[in-house]
């Protein structure tokens, strides 16, 4: 994100979809850049782990219109839907890892 955009990540709300190995790494990297990191996760064990590590666990429907950066790290389709994208802020950053 830092290389691809000219956006300062600090202070932004970043949503990481999925809290597996890749999602954990993404969340840690965004937190290190001083972003406020929220996690979406459908597996209750992974969601609990994210909460225990200090992340706010949310649903995409809750945060589609609030966040500035969206990172999908699930390997699945339709994690971010057309409806979610229609509700996003102008110039929201969406990426997939």
CA 56 – CA 37 distance, rounded (Å)? 7
The model's pLDDT over 18-75, given as tens digits with 9 standing for 90+, comes to: 999 999 999 999 999 999 999 999 999 999 999 999 999 999 999 999 999 999 999 8
Residue 19 corresponds to which tokens in the numbers above? 């809290």
Give the global pTM.
0.93
* Burial call 44-72: b when 16+ CB within 10 Å, e when fewer: eebbebbeeeebebbebeebbeebbbbbb
Instruction: Specify the CATH architecture of the domain 13-96.
Output: 3-Layer(aba) Sandwich (3.40)
């Amino acid at each position: 994100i830092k290389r691809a955009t000219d956006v300062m990540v600090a202070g932004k709300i970043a949503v990481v979809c999925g809290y597996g190995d890749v999602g954990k790494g993404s969340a840690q990297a965004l937190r290190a850049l001083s972003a406020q990191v929220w996690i979406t996760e459908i597996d209750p064990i992974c969601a609990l782990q994210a909460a225990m590590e200090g992340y706010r666990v949310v649903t995409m429907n809750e945060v589609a219109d609030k966040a500035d950066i969206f990172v999908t790290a699930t390997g699945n389709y339709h994690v971010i839907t057309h409806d979610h994208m229609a509700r996003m802020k102008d110039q929201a950053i969406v990426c997939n890892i």
